[in-house]
Protein backbone atom coordinates (compact mmCIF):
# COMPACT_ATOMS: atom_id res chain seq x y z
CA UNK A 1 0.00 0.00 0.00
CA UNK A 2 1.45 3.35 -1.10
CA UNK A 3 1.91 6.25 1.29
CA UNK A 4 -0.79 8.85 0.63
CA UNK A 5 0.06 12.56 0.44
CA UNK A 6 -2.36 15.49 0.15
CA UNK A 7 -0.88 18.47 -1.73
CA UNK A 8 -2.62 21.79 -0.99
CA UNK A 9 -1.77 24.80 -3.17
CA UNK A 10 -3.83 27.43 -4.99
CA UNK A 11 -1.52 27.39 -8.02
CA UNK A 12 -2.51 24.57 -10.38
CA UNK A 13 0.90 24.37 -12.03
CA UNK A 14 2.61 23.79 -8.67
CA UNK A 15 0.01 21.22 -7.62
CA UNK A 16 0.37 19.27 -10.86
CA UNK A 17 4.17 19.43 -10.81
CA UNK A 18 4.32 18.15 -7.25
CA UNK A 19 1.85 15.38 -8.10
CA UNK A 20 4.01 14.20 -11.02
CA UNK A 21 7.19 14.30 -8.94
CA UNK A 22 5.74 12.54 -5.89
CA UNK A 23 3.96 9.86 -7.93
CA UNK A 24 7.23 9.12 -9.73
CA UNK A 25 8.70 8.51 -6.25
CA UNK A 26 6.00 5.93 -5.47
CA UNK A 27 3.54 8.06 -3.47
CA UNK A 28 -0.24 8.18 -3.93
CA UNK A 29 -1.14 11.87 -4.32
CA UNK A 30 -4.39 13.85 -4.00
CA UNK A 31 -4.74 17.57 -4.73
CA UNK A 32 -6.61 20.46 -3.11
CA UNK A 33 -6.78 24.12 -4.17
CA UNK A 34 -7.21 25.64 -0.71
CA UNK A 35 -7.65 24.82 2.96
CA UNK A 36 -11.42 24.32 2.82
CA UNK A 37 -11.17 21.82 -0.03
CA UNK A 38 -8.36 20.06 1.86
CA UNK A 39 -10.57 19.67 4.96
CA UNK A 40 -13.33 18.12 2.84
CA UNK A 41 -10.88 15.61 1.37
CA UNK A 42 -9.38 14.86 4.78
CA UNK A 43 -12.86 14.15 6.10
CA UNK A 44 -13.43 11.47 3.46
CA UNK A 45 -9.99 9.85 3.13
CA UNK A 46 -6.97 8.99 5.27
CA UNK A 47 -3.56 10.46 4.46
CA UNK A 48 -0.05 9.87 5.76
CA UNK A 49 1.20 13.44 5.18
CA UNK A 50 0.01 16.89 4.05
CA UNK A 51 2.13 19.28 1.99
CA UNK A 52 0.52 22.73 2.15
CA UNK A 53 1.10 26.24 0.85
CA UNK A 54 0.48 29.09 3.30
CA UNK A 55 -1.13 31.93 1.33
CA UNK A 56 -4.36 30.63 -0.22
CA UNK A 57 -7.93 31.94 -0.62
CA UNK A 58 -10.88 30.87 1.57
CA UNK A 59 -8.66 29.18 4.18
CA UNK A 60 -4.90 29.66 4.33
CA UNK A 61 -2.26 27.12 5.29
CA UNK A 62 -1.88 28.34 8.88
CA UNK A 63 -5.61 27.82 9.56
CA UNK A 64 -5.42 24.40 7.91
CA UNK A 65 -2.37 23.53 10.02
CA UNK A 66 -4.14 24.59 13.22
CA UNK A 67 -7.16 22.43 12.37
CA UNK A 68 -5.03 19.39 11.49
CA UNK A 69 -2.99 19.75 14.69
CA UNK A 70 -6.23 19.38 16.67
CA UNK A 71 -7.94 16.66 14.64
CA UNK A 72 -5.11 14.76 12.91
CA UNK A 73 -2.36 14.99 15.51
CA UNK A 74 -0.30 12.03 14.20
CA UNK A 75 -0.25 13.24 10.57
CA UNK A 76 2.84 15.36 9.73
CA UNK A 77 2.30 18.68 7.94
CA UNK A 78 5.04 20.26 5.83
CA UNK A 79 4.49 23.93 5.00
CA UNK A 80 5.76 25.56 1.78
CA UNK A 81 5.64 29.23 0.86
CA UNK A 82 7.19 31.83 -1.42
CA UNK A 83 6.69 34.41 1.34
CA UNK A 84 8.54 32.62 4.10
CA UNK A 85 10.35 34.35 6.91
CA UNK A 86 11.62 33.37 10.34
CA UNK A 87 8.47 34.63 12.10
CA UNK A 88 6.19 32.58 9.84
CA UNK A 89 8.40 29.51 10.24
CA UNK A 90 8.35 29.84 14.03
CA UNK A 91 4.57 30.28 14.06
CA UNK A 92 4.10 27.20 11.85
CA UNK A 93 6.42 25.12 14.03
CA UNK A 94 4.60 26.16 17.22
CA UNK A 95 1.35 25.02 15.65
CA UNK A 96 2.87 21.62 14.93
CA UNK A 97 4.36 21.82 11.42
CA UNK A 98 7.03 19.20 10.81
CA UNK A 99 9.07 21.57 8.66
CA UNK A 100 8.86 24.82 6.69
CA UNK A 101 10.36 25.05 3.19
CA UNK A 102 10.57 28.17 1.02
CA UNK A 103 9.80 28.37 -2.70
CA UNK A 104 11.26 27.80 -5.22
CA UNK A 105 11.46 24.29 -3.83
CA UNK A 106 14.67 22.33 -3.64
CA UNK A 107 13.25 18.97 -4.73
CA UNK A 108 16.00 16.89 -3.11
CA UNK A 109 15.44 18.63 0.22
CA UNK A 110 11.68 18.30 -0.15
CA UNK A 111 11.86 14.55 -0.77
CA UNK A 112 14.27 14.02 2.13
CA UNK A 113 11.98 16.01 4.43
CA UNK A 114 8.93 14.01 3.34
CA UNK A 115 10.68 10.69 3.93
CA UNK A 116 11.96 11.86 7.33
CA UNK A 117 8.46 12.95 8.34
CA UNK A 118 6.93 9.64 7.27
CA UNK A 119 9.64 7.68 9.08
CA UNK A 120 9.10 9.61 12.32
CA UNK A 121 5.32 9.14 11.96
CA UNK A 122 5.84 5.39 11.62
CA UNK A 123 8.06 5.35 14.72
CA UNK A 124 5.46 7.29 16.73
CA UNK A 125 2.73 4.88 15.68
CA UNK A 126 4.95 1.96 16.65
CA UNK A 127 5.65 3.61 20.01
CA UNK A 128 1.90 3.71 20.71
CA UNK A 129 1.70 -0.07 20.35
CA UNK A 130 4.73 -0.41 22.63
CA UNK A 131 3.11 1.43 25.54
CA UNK A 132 1.67 -1.65 27.24
CA UNK A 133 4.86 -3.61 26.64
CA UNK A 134 6.84 -0.77 28.23
CA UNK A 135 4.69 -1.07 31.37
CA UNK A 136 4.89 -4.85 31.45
CA UNK A 137 7.69 -5.93 29.08
CA UNK A 138 8.37 -9.57 28.24
CA UNK A 139 11.91 -9.12 29.52
CA UNK A 140 10.55 -8.77 33.07
CA UNK A 141 8.26 -11.80 33.01
CA UNK A 142 9.27 -14.60 35.37
CA UNK A 143 10.04 -15.44 38.97
CA UNK A 144 13.73 -16.40 38.94
CA UNK A 145 15.80 -14.96 41.82
CA UNK A 146 17.95 -12.95 39.36
CA UNK A 147 14.85 -11.37 37.82
CA UNK A 148 13.19 -10.61 41.16
CA UNK A 149 16.35 -8.80 42.26
CA UNK A 150 16.37 -6.79 39.02
CA UNK A 151 12.70 -5.84 39.44
CA UNK A 152 13.30 -4.62 42.98
CA UNK A 153 16.16 -2.41 41.80
CA UNK A 154 14.14 -0.97 38.91
CA UNK A 155 11.16 -0.18 41.14
CA UNK A 156 13.44 1.87 43.39
CA UNK A 157 15.50 3.75 40.81
CA UNK A 158 13.03 4.29 37.96
CA UNK A 159 10.87 6.96 39.70
CA UNK A 160 13.94 9.10 40.39
CA UNK A 161 15.89 11.28 37.94
CA UNK A 162 19.21 9.56 38.58
CA UNK A 163 21.48 8.48 35.72
CA UNK A 164 21.60 4.73 35.16
CA UNK A 165 24.08 2.55 33.31
CA UNK A 166 22.46 -0.66 32.04
CA UNK A 167 24.79 -3.56 31.31
CA UNK A 168 24.12 -7.05 30.05
CA UNK A 169 24.90 -9.50 27.30
CA UNK A 170 23.62 -9.01 23.77
CA UNK A 171 19.96 -9.90 23.50
CA UNK A 172 19.02 -9.33 27.17
CA UNK A 173 16.78 -6.36 26.31
CA UNK A 174 18.67 -3.25 27.41
CA UNK A 175 16.58 -0.81 25.38
CA UNK A 176 13.31 -2.35 26.55
CA UNK A 177 14.47 -1.97 30.15
CA UNK A 178 15.40 1.67 29.45
CA UNK A 179 11.88 2.20 28.11
CA UNK A 180 10.45 0.55 31.23
CA UNK A 181 12.47 2.92 33.43
CA UNK A 182 11.17 5.87 31.40
CA UNK A 183 7.56 4.70 31.77
CA UNK A 184 7.91 4.50 35.57
CA UNK A 185 9.61 7.90 35.86
CA UNK A 186 8.05 11.36 36.34
CA UNK A 187 9.08 12.00 32.73
CA UNK A 188 6.76 9.37 31.27
CA UNK A 189 4.69 12.00 29.46
CA UNK A 190 7.82 13.26 27.72
CA UNK A 191 9.63 11.68 24.78
CA UNK A 192 11.87 8.62 24.90
CA UNK A 193 14.73 8.99 22.40
CA UNK A 194 17.37 6.37 21.65
CA UNK A 195 20.76 7.09 20.07
CA UNK A 196 23.03 4.24 18.98
CA UNK A 197 26.49 5.54 19.87
CA UNK A 198 28.16 3.09 17.48
CA UNK A 199 26.85 5.28 14.63
CA UNK A 200 28.32 8.55 15.95
CA UNK A 201 31.46 9.81 14.13
CA UNK A 202 34.34 10.82 16.38
CA UNK A 203 33.89 14.58 15.84
CA UNK A 204 30.12 14.66 15.33
CA UNK A 205 28.49 14.08 18.73
CA UNK A 206 27.44 17.69 19.22
CA UNK A 207 25.72 17.72 15.82
CA UNK A 208 23.95 14.44 16.65
CA UNK A 209 22.84 15.70 20.05
CA UNK A 210 21.90 19.29 19.26
CA UNK A 211 21.34 19.39 15.50
CA UNK A 212 22.40 22.49 13.63
CA UNK A 213 21.03 25.93 12.94
CA UNK A 214 20.35 27.20 9.43
CA UNK A 215 22.60 30.24 8.79
CA UNK A 216 20.14 31.68 6.25
CA UNK A 217 17.24 31.54 8.68
CA UNK A 218 14.95 30.39 5.87
CA UNK A 219 14.28 26.89 7.17
CA UNK A 220 14.07 25.02 10.44
CA UNK A 221 16.41 22.04 10.42
CA UNK A 222 15.75 18.84 12.40
CA UNK A 223 16.56 18.95 16.10
CA UNK A 224 19.34 16.84 17.56
CA UNK A 225 18.66 13.83 19.77
CA UNK A 226 19.20 15.76 23.02
CA UNK A 227 16.78 18.51 22.02
CA UNK A 228 14.21 15.94 20.88
CA UNK A 229 14.39 14.36 24.34
CA UNK A 230 13.80 17.58 26.32
CA UNK A 231 11.43 16.87 29.20
CA UNK A 232 11.97 13.14 28.70
CA UNK A 233 14.69 10.50 28.51
CA UNK A 234 17.69 10.04 26.22
CA UNK A 235 19.02 6.48 26.01
CA UNK A 236 22.62 6.25 24.82
CA UNK A 237 22.77 2.70 23.48
CA UNK A 238 26.14 0.95 23.02
CA UNK A 239 27.82 3.79 24.91
CA UNK A 240 31.08 1.83 25.04
CA UNK A 241 31.41 2.28 21.25
CA UNK A 242 31.44 6.08 21.50
CA UNK A 243 34.71 7.40 20.00
CA UNK A 244 37.25 9.09 22.30
CA UNK A 245 36.67 12.72 21.22
CA UNK A 246 32.91 12.21 21.50
CA UNK A 247 33.39 10.78 25.03
CA UNK A 248 35.08 14.03 26.06
CA UNK A 249 32.20 16.06 24.58
CA UNK A 250 29.72 14.00 26.58
CA UNK A 251 31.74 14.45 29.77
CA UNK A 252 31.56 18.23 29.34
CA UNK A 253 27.81 18.06 28.72
CA UNK A 254 27.15 15.93 31.79
CA UNK A 255 29.46 18.01 33.99
CA UNK A 256 27.67 21.16 32.83
CA UNK A 257 24.32 19.63 33.75
CA UNK A 258 25.71 18.54 37.14
CA UNK A 259 27.07 22.01 37.90
CA UNK A 260 23.65 23.49 37.12
CA UNK A 261 22.05 21.28 39.73
CA UNK A 262 21.57 18.10 37.74
CA UNK A 263 18.66 17.21 35.52
CA UNK A 264 15.40 19.09 35.84
CA UNK A 265 11.93 18.22 34.65
CA UNK A 266 12.64 20.49 31.66
CA UNK A 267 16.03 18.95 31.01
CA UNK A 268 16.91 15.43 29.87
CA UNK A 269 17.41 12.27 31.90
CA UNK A 270 20.37 10.26 30.60
CA UNK A 271 20.32 6.46 30.53
CA UNK A 272 23.11 4.46 28.91
CA UNK A 273 23.66 0.84 28.00
CA UNK A 274 26.31 -1.53 26.72
CA UNK A 275 27.14 -5.21 26.50
CA UNK A 276 30.90 -4.61 26.90
CA UNK A 277 33.11 -4.93 29.98
CA UNK A 278 33.79 -1.38 31.20
CA UNK A 279 36.54 -2.42 33.60
CA UNK A 280 38.51 -3.94 30.74
CA UNK A 281 37.83 -0.96 28.44
CA UNK A 282 38.98 1.51 31.10
CA UNK A 283 42.13 -0.53 31.78
CA UNK A 284 42.88 -0.54 28.05
CA UNK A 285 42.33 3.22 27.81
CA UNK A 286 39.35 2.83 25.48
CA UNK A 287 36.76 4.36 27.79
CA UNK A 288 37.09 7.41 30.02
CA UNK A 289 36.91 6.75 33.74
CA UNK A 290 35.30 10.14 34.42
CA UNK A 291 32.55 9.38 31.87
CA UNK A 292 31.94 5.99 33.47
CA UNK A 293 31.47 7.61 36.90
CA UNK A 294 29.13 10.27 35.47
CA UNK A 295 26.93 7.67 33.77
CA UNK A 296 26.93 4.98 36.45
CA UNK A 297 25.34 6.71 39.42
CA UNK A 298 23.24 3.54 39.48
CA UNK A 299 24.42 0.29 37.87
CA UNK A 300 21.74 -2.09 36.59
CA UNK A 301 22.93 -5.45 35.28
CA UNK A 302 20.53 -7.59 33.25
CA UNK A 303 20.84 -11.33 33.96
CA UNK A 304 21.51 -13.66 31.05
CA UNK A 305 18.90 -16.25 30.09
CA UNK A 306 21.19 -18.94 31.53
CA UNK A 307 20.81 -17.22 34.91
CA UNK A 308 17.02 -17.39 34.72
CA UNK A 309 16.28 -20.79 33.15
CA UNK A 310 13.16 -21.22 35.28
CA UNK A 311 11.62 -18.27 33.39
CA UNK A 312 12.03 -19.90 29.96
CA UNK A 313 8.65 -21.75 29.90
CA UNK A 314 6.74 -18.55 30.63
CA UNK A 315 8.80 -16.49 28.15
CA UNK A 316 8.46 -19.10 25.40
CA UNK A 317 4.70 -19.19 25.91
CA UNK A 318 4.40 -15.40 25.66
CA UNK A 319 6.51 -15.29 22.50
CA UNK A 320 4.49 -18.15 20.97
CA UNK A 321 1.16 -16.38 21.56
CA UNK A 322 2.45 -13.16 20.00
CA UNK A 323 3.89 -14.94 16.97
CA UNK A 324 0.63 -16.83 16.38
CA UNK A 325 -1.24 -13.51 16.35
CA UNK A 326 1.36 -11.89 14.09
CA UNK A 327 1.22 -14.65 11.46
CA UNK A 328 -2.44 -15.50 12.04
CA UNK A 329 -1.52 -19.08 12.92
CA UNK A 330 -3.78 -21.62 14.56
CA UNK A 331 -3.39 -21.98 18.31
CA UNK A 332 -0.10 -23.71 19.21
CA UNK A 333 1.30 -24.82 22.53
CA UNK A 334 4.43 -26.41 23.99
CA UNK A 335 4.35 -29.88 25.46
CA UNK A 336 6.15 -30.12 28.84
CA UNK A 337 9.06 -32.10 27.41
CA UNK A 338 9.61 -29.41 24.76
CA UNK A 339 9.86 -26.73 27.44
CA UNK A 340 12.36 -28.83 29.39
CA UNK A 341 14.40 -29.22 26.19
CA UNK A 342 14.39 -25.45 25.71
CA UNK A 343 15.53 -24.93 29.30
CA UNK A 344 18.53 -27.20 28.71
CA UNK A 345 19.92 -25.16 25.76
CA UNK A 346 22.76 -22.64 26.22
CA UNK A 347 20.99 -19.50 24.81
CA UNK A 348 24.11 -17.45 24.21
CA UNK A 349 21.92 -14.97 22.30
CA UNK A 350 19.59 -14.66 25.32
CA UNK A 351 16.02 -13.38 24.87
CA UNK A 352 16.55 -12.41 21.24
CA UNK A 353 17.71 -15.92 20.40
CA UNK A 354 14.82 -17.50 22.33
CA UNK A 355 12.26 -15.34 20.48
CA UNK A 356 13.76 -16.31 17.10
CA UNK A 357 13.78 -19.98 18.09
CA UNK A 358 10.12 -19.88 19.12
CA UNK A 359 9.26 -18.18 15.84
CA UNK A 360 11.02 -20.98 13.94
CA UNK A 361 9.14 -23.62 15.91
CA UNK A 362 5.81 -21.87 15.34
CA UNK A 363 6.40 -21.95 11.58
CA UNK A 364 7.89 -25.43 11.20
CA UNK A 365 6.35 -27.47 14.02
CA UNK A 366 2.99 -27.83 15.68
CA UNK A 367 0.24 -27.76 16.60
CA UNK A 368 1.75 -29.45 19.65
CA UNK A 369 5.42 -28.51 19.86
CA UNK A 370 7.37 -31.48 21.21
CA UNK A 371 10.87 -32.25 22.39
CA UNK A 372 11.53 -33.86 19.01
CA UNK A 373 10.64 -30.56 17.32
CA UNK A 374 13.16 -28.74 19.49
CA UNK A 375 15.81 -31.34 18.66
CA UNK A 376 15.02 -31.13 14.96
CA UNK A 377 14.63 -27.40 14.41
CA UNK A 378 16.61 -25.70 17.18
CA UNK A 379 19.54 -27.83 18.29
CA UNK A 380 21.03 -28.46 14.81
CA UNK A 381 21.16 -24.72 14.17
CA UNK A 382 22.71 -23.76 17.49
CA UNK A 383 26.04 -25.52 17.07
CA UNK A 384 27.84 -28.25 15.19
CA UNK A 385 28.19 -30.11 18.46
CA UNK A 386 24.45 -30.29 18.82
CA UNK A 387 24.20 -31.55 15.22
CA UNK A 388 26.62 -34.40 15.96
CA UNK A 389 24.81 -35.32 19.17
CA UNK A 390 21.49 -35.20 17.38
CA UNK A 391 22.67 -37.48 14.58
CA UNK A 392 24.03 -40.01 17.09
CA UNK A 393 20.77 -39.93 19.01
CA UNK A 394 18.58 -40.34 15.95
CA UNK A 395 20.66 -43.25 14.65
CA UNK A 396 19.27 -45.15 17.63
CA UNK A 397 15.73 -43.80 17.26
CA UNK A 398 13.02 -43.37 14.66
CA UNK A 399 14.09 -40.23 12.76
CA UNK A 400 15.80 -42.03 9.87
CA UNK A 401 14.60 -39.51 7.30
CA UNK A 402 16.23 -36.56 9.06
CA UNK A 403 19.43 -38.52 9.63
CA UNK A 404 19.49 -39.47 5.96
CA UNK A 405 19.20 -35.82 4.99
CA UNK A 406 21.99 -34.71 7.28
CA UNK A 407 24.33 -37.65 6.61
CA UNK A 408 23.95 -37.23 2.85
CA UNK A 409 25.12 -33.63 3.21
CA UNK A 410 21.62 -32.39 2.45
CA UNK A 411 21.49 -29.78 5.16
CA UNK A 412 21.09 -27.33 2.25
CA UNK A 413 17.71 -28.95 1.56
CA UNK A 414 16.72 -28.34 5.17
CA UNK A 415 17.66 -24.66 4.90
CA UNK A 416 15.82 -24.32 1.60
CA UNK A 417 12.67 -25.80 3.12
CA UNK A 418 12.90 -23.36 6.02
CA UNK A 419 13.40 -20.45 3.64
CA UNK A 420 10.47 -21.49 1.46
CA UNK A 421 8.08 -21.62 4.42
CA UNK A 422 9.39 -18.32 5.79
CA UNK A 423 9.05 -16.48 2.45
CA UNK A 424 5.56 -17.88 1.90
CA UNK A 425 4.44 -16.73 5.35
CA UNK A 426 5.90 -13.25 4.83
CA UNK A 427 4.13 -12.95 1.47
CA UNK A 428 0.87 -13.93 3.13
CA UNK A 429 1.48 -11.48 5.98
CA UNK A 430 1.84 -8.61 3.48
CA UNK A 431 -1.00 -9.82 1.19
CA UNK A 432 1.53 -10.68 -1.51
CA UNK A 433 2.73 -7.09 -1.78
CA UNK A 434 6.18 -7.73 -3.27
CA UNK A 435 7.68 -4.35 -2.36
CA UNK A 436 6.57 -4.49 1.31
CA UNK A 437 7.56 -8.15 1.67
CA UNK A 438 11.02 -7.56 0.22
CA UNK A 439 11.54 -4.56 2.52
CA UNK A 440 10.37 -6.46 5.60
CA UNK A 441 12.86 -9.31 5.10
CA UNK A 442 15.68 -7.08 3.88
CA UNK A 443 16.19 -8.24 0.29
CA UNK A 444 15.77 -6.69 -3.14
CA UNK A 445 12.52 -7.22 -5.01
CA UNK A 446 14.34 -9.00 -7.83
CA UNK A 447 15.74 -11.51 -5.31
CA UNK A 448 12.26 -12.07 -3.88
CA UNK A 449 10.88 -12.76 -7.37
CA UNK A 450 13.70 -15.28 -7.87
CA UNK A 451 12.77 -17.08 -4.65
CA UNK A 452 9.08 -17.14 -5.61
CA UNK A 453 10.00 -18.73 -8.93
CA UNK A 454 12.56 -21.09 -7.38
CA UNK A 455 10.13 -22.45 -4.78
CA UNK A 456 7.18 -22.36 -7.22
CA UNK A 457 5.10 -20.18 -4.89
CA UNK A 458 1.82 -18.82 -6.19
CA UNK A 459 -0.57 -16.20 -4.92
CA UNK A 460 -3.88 -17.68 -3.69
CA UNK A 461 -6.76 -16.99 -6.01
CA UNK A 462 -9.21 -14.38 -4.79
CA UNK A 463 -12.69 -15.73 -4.24
CA UNK A 464 -15.38 -13.75 -6.05
SS3 content of the chain, % helix, strand, coil (to 5): 55, 10, 35
For the chain, the domain total comes to 4
Q: What's the CA angle centered on 195, arms 189 and 201, to 5 degrees? A: 155
Residue 1 pLDDT > 60? no
Q: What's the CA angle centered on 15, arms 11 and 17, to 5 degrees? A: 115
* pLDDT mean over 180-197: 90
Q: Looking at residue 5, what is its pLDDT?
A: 94
Structural contact between residues 100 and 89, judged by C-beta atoms closer than 8 angstroms: yes
356 with 289, same domain: the answer is no
Q: How does residue 407 score in pLDDT terms, banded at 50, 70 and 90? A: very low
Residue 131 pLDDT > 70? no
Provide the percentage of residues in the chain whose pLDDT is more than 70: 82
Cα gap 325→350, rounded to integer Å: 23
Q: Which phi and psi angles does 167 have, rounded to 5°?
A: -115, 160
Q: Looking at residue 91, what is its pLDDT?
A: 81
Q: How does residue 388 score in pLDDT terms, banded at 50, 70 and 90? A: very low
C-alpha dihedral (34, 37, 40, 41), degrees to nearest 10: -90
Residue 452 pLDDT > 70? yes
272 with 172, same domain: the answer is yes
DSSP 171: T
Look up the domain containing 221 and give its range. 136-303
Residue 408 pLDDT > 60? no
Residue 162 pLDDT > 70? yes
Q: Is residue 130 part of a domain?
A: no
Cα gap 252→423, rounded to integer Å: 49
141 with 275, same domain: the answer is yes
What residues have CB less than 8 Å from 409, skipping those under 6 apart?
none
Q: Is residue 73 part of a domain?
A: yes
169 with 184, same domain: the answer is yes
Q: Which of 388, 408, 428 lies at the terminal end of a domain, its last residue?
A: 408
Q: Exposed, middle or buried: residue 429 (CB in 10 Å: 0-12, 13-18, 19+)?
A: middle
152 with 284, same domain: the answer is yes
Q: Is residue 339 part of a domain?
A: yes
Cα gap 72→41, rounded to integer Å: 13
Q: Is residue 189 part of a domain?
A: yes
Q: Looking at residue 399, what is its pLDDT?
A: 40
- 47: CATH: 3.40.50.2300
Average pLDDT, the chain: 82
193 with 278, same domain: the answer is yes
72 with 183, same domain: the answer is no
Cα gap 258→263, rounded to integer Å: 7
Q: Which of 73, 98, 125 lies at the terminal end of a domain, its last residue?
A: 125
- 344: CATH: 1.10.8.60
Cα gap 51→49, rounded to integer Å: 7
206 with 314, same domain: the answer is no
255 with 333, same domain: the answer is no
Structural contact between residues 262 and 253, judged by C-beta atoms closer than 8 angstroms: no
Q: How does residue 222 score in pLDDT terms, banded at 50, 70 and 90? A: low
Residue 269 pLDDT > 90? yes
Q: Is residue 276 part of a domain?
A: yes
Q: Looking at residue 218, what is its pLDDT?
A: 43
Single pTM value for the model: 0.55
Q: Looking at residue 99, what is its pLDDT?
A: 87
- 436: CATH: 1.10.10.60
Residue 3 pLDDT > 60? yes
Residue 430 pLDDT > 60? yes
Q: What is the CA radius of gyration of the chain?
A: 27
Query: Per-residue DSSP letters for 10-70?
Result: S-HHHHHHHHHHHHHTT-EEEEESSHHHHHHHHHHS--SEEEEESS-SSS-HHHHHHHHHH
Q: How many residues belong to the chain?
A: 464
Buried/exposed code over 122-148 (b: 16+ C-beta within 10 A; e: otherwise): eeeeeeeeeeeebeebbbbebebebbe
Closest CA to 101 of 9, 2, 234, 239: 9
Q: How does residue 328 score in pLDDT terms, banded at 50, 70 and 90? A: confident
Least confident segment among 105-114, 174-183, 393-402? 393-402
Q: Looking at residue 247, what is its pLDDT?
A: 92
* pLDDT mean over 20-41: 91
63 with 114, same domain: the answer is yes
Q: Is residue 131 part of a domain?
A: no
Cα gap 278→353, rounded to integer Å: 24
Cα gap 98→114, rounded to integer Å: 9
* pLDDT mean over 389-402: 39
Q: Which of 125, 148, 165 lies at the terminal end of a domain, its last residue?
A: 125
* pLDDT mean over 114-123: 79
Least confident segment among 225-234, 247-256, 401-410? 401-410
330 with 182, same domain: the answer is no
What residues have CB less than 8 Å from 136, skipping those under 6 apart?
none
404 with 415, same domain: the answer is no
- 266: CATH: 3.40.50.300
Provide the percentage of residues in the chain whose pLDDT is more than 90: 38
Question: In this predicted model, what pLDDT tens digit does every residue of 31-77 receive, in sequence order?
Answer: 999 999 999 998 888 899 999 999 898 888 999 998 888 888 778 99
Amino acid sequence: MFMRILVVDDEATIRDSLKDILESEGFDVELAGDGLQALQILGDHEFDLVLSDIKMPHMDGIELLSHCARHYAHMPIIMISAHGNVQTAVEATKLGAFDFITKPLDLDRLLITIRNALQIRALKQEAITWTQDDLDPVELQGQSPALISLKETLQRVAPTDVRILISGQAGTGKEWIARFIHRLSPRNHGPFVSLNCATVPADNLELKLFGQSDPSGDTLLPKGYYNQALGGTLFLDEIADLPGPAQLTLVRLLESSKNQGGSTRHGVRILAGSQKDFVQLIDEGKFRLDLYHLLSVILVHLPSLQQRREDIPMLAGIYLNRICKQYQLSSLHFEPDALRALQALPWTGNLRELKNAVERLAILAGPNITRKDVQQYIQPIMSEGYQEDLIEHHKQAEHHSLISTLEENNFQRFKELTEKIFVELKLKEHQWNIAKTAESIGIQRSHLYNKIERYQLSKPKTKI
